[in-house]
Amino acid sequence: MSEDALGVSPTTLQERIDSGDPVRALDLRNRDEVDRWRLAGPGVTVTQRSNATFIQARVTDAIAEFVADIDGEGPIVVVCARGEASREAAAELAARGYDARNLEGGMEAWARLLLSADLPVEGDDFAVVQYRRPASGCLGYAVVSGGEAAVVDPLRAFTERYAADARERDATVEYVVDTHVHADHVSGLRELAAATGATAVMPAEAVERGVTYDVATVADGAKLQVGEATLEAVHAPGHTTGMSAFAVGGGDAGSSADTPDAGVLLAGDSLFVGSVARPDLERGSGGARDLARELHRTLTERFARFSDRTLVAPGHHAEGVRPDETGAVTARLGALRALRAFDMDPDAFIDHVTDDMPPRPANFERVIAVNLGREHADAEAAFELELGPNNCAATLADD
């Protein structure tokens, strides 16, 4: 079998992960690199072994023992940074009769994978596209209606992808929106607005954190018209002081569970599928409790007017969350209201979201500085800054 036949593309591998099929990964990077950022998913098992260890096993004819130490089930997917050392290892394993594949382009290629799925919106006057970056769990959106589009929470690394997708849908990008000042990835707000001639938009409270470039602002209740669709800003502080969600279509139809047009709530970093946002990235641990109290108000008071049938489209997803049959990560608000966090009083909630938080996103302070416009990072530097899990949830599950 040729080396090319041994390759598995990031897209194909992610499809296997999303389906829940077992993936047995052999990662040849250094342990600290693997610990910081790895393939993830419900059926994924990762075993770290150095490439030097593999070469030694080959030289000493100890491949059988080497393979026996690889945890998990299913075909062996060999991984390295750029797919070079892993290609050689996969070829050697395949030559010895093992079902082994090489992740083409390595983890760098997996980091450049951006998947899209149309959300199941009610009505035919607009479409909402969810963009998912599996490597980090980042989610962004495009709202398309009447030949116009708004892109919400774009990633800088995929600027051309958003513009190309709008062209394919015969739409012009009218607005590019950030729901808040991001700490886990470099925003594509300015680059996409410049590339398409769109208006860059941020919540007014987010700009007050010290944004240094020109941008249009929206306050709570302000509306952006995109063809036949309306995006209404919903002040949703907690993760940050300036966090705003956006209700699309019939998202403000009321609180009745049988509301016929429930709409979509682009929740940003407030409410996720199975968890809620962390409150410590703007003000640190000292201000986390105050922002956690605001987050509780956002979930229980500011979002109270939305129907249980409102489709919540979050800004991130945890690594254990699988997309649905459409390829999207969403949930009805009624289902999320069953989370334990919604039944807590404010003080219990504050303790819940501030205790035992996961590590902060890699390079978060510099990422914030870049997104505020205080520092510059070229495309390659920006890509390196955001590698790794986003860690924007306070808890990874409702536990």
The residues near 52 (Cβ < 8 Å, ≥ 6 apart) are none
- Least confident stretch, 119-128, 171-180, 210-219: 119-128
At residue 395 the predicted structure's pLDDT band, cuts being 50, 70 and 90, is low
pLDDT for 5: 66
Distance of alpha carbon 383 from alpha carbon 15, whole angstroms: 23
pLDDT for 74: 87
The residues near 10 (Cβ < 8 Å, ≥ 6 apart) are 103, 104, 105, 109, 110, 112, 113
The Cα-based distances of 396 to 57, 65, 328, 392 in angstroms read 38, 35, 18, 9
Enumerate the β-bridge partners of residue 224: 231
Mean pLDDT value of segment 195-200: 98
pLDDT for 355: 87
Contacts 24+ apart (CB under 8 A), 189-192: 189/154, 189/215, 189/371, 191/156, 191/159, 192/151, 192/154, 192/159, 192/162, 192/163
The residues near 127 (Cβ < 8 Å, ≥ 6 apart) are 118, 119, 121, 143, 144, 145, 169
Is residue 153 a contact partner of residue 180, using CB atoms and an 8 Å limit? no
Greatest mean pLDDT among 39-43, 262-266, 293-297, 391-395 lies in: 293-297
- Least confident stretch, 42-56, 210-224, 254-268, 269-283: 254-268
pTM: 0.92
- Least confident stretch, 199-203, 278-282, 354-358: 354-358
User: Into which CATH architecture does domain 4-110 fall?
Assistant: 3-Layer(aba) Sandwich (3.40)
* Residue-wise pLDDT tens digits, 307-325: 999 999 999 987 777 899 8
Asked whether the predicted pLDDT for residue 257 surpasses 60, the reply is no
Greater confidence, 98 or 390?
98
Instruction: Please report the sign of the dihedral spanned by the C-alpha atoms of residue 14, residue 16, residue 18, residue 24.
Output: negative
Distance of alpha carbon 48 from alpha carbon 33, whole angstroms: 10
DSSP string, 93-134: HHHTT--EEEETTHHHHHHT--EEEE---SSSS-EEEEEEET
* Residue-wise pLDDT tens digits, 358-388: 777 778 999 999 999 999 999 999 988 888 7
* CA atoms within 13 A of residue 109's CA, in its CB half-sphere: 18
The Cα-based distances of 248 to 127, 187, 307 in angstroms read 10, 22, 13
pLDDT for 4: 61
Is residue 116 a contact partner of residue 146, using CB atoms and an 8 Å limit? no
Question: What is the per-residue burial (b if ≥16 Cβ within 10 Å, else e) of 311-335?
Answer: bbbbbbbbbebebeeeebbbbebee
* Residue-wise pLDDT tens digits, 347-358: 999 999 998 777
pLDDT for 362: 75
Asked whether the predicted pLDDT for residue 259 surpasses 50, the reply is no
Return phi, psi of residue 237, to 5°. -65, 160
pLDDT for 30: 94
At residue 202 the predicted structure's pLDDT band, cuts being 50, 70 and 90, is very high
Distance of alpha carbon 313 from alpha carbon 272, whole angstroms: 8
Domain positions in the chain are 4-110, 114-385
pLDDT for 245: 98
- Least confident stretch, 73-82, 83-92, 112-121, 261-270: 261-270
11 SS3 class: helix
- Least confident stretch, 27-31, 235-239, 267-271, 278-282: 278-282
Domains 4-110 and 114-385 share a fold: no
Distance of alpha carbon 216 from alpha carbon 368, whole angstroms: 19
The Cα-based distances of 239 to 82, 156, 217 in angstroms read 34, 21, 19
- Distance linking the first and last C-alpha atoms of the chain: 47
140 SS3 class: strand
Q: Please report where in the chains the tokens 């990874």 appear, as a residue.
A: 396
* Residue-wise pLDDT tens digits, 97-139: 999 999 999 999 999 999 999 999 877 789 999 999 999 999 9
Q: Please report where in the chains the tokens 């229980």 appear, as a residue.
A: 300
The fold adopted by the segment(s) 114-385 is Metallo-beta-lactamase; Chain A (3.60.15)
Mean pLDDT value of segment 160-164: 98
pLDDT for 357: 78
Q: Please report where in the chains the tokens 């919903």 appear, as a residue.
A: 234
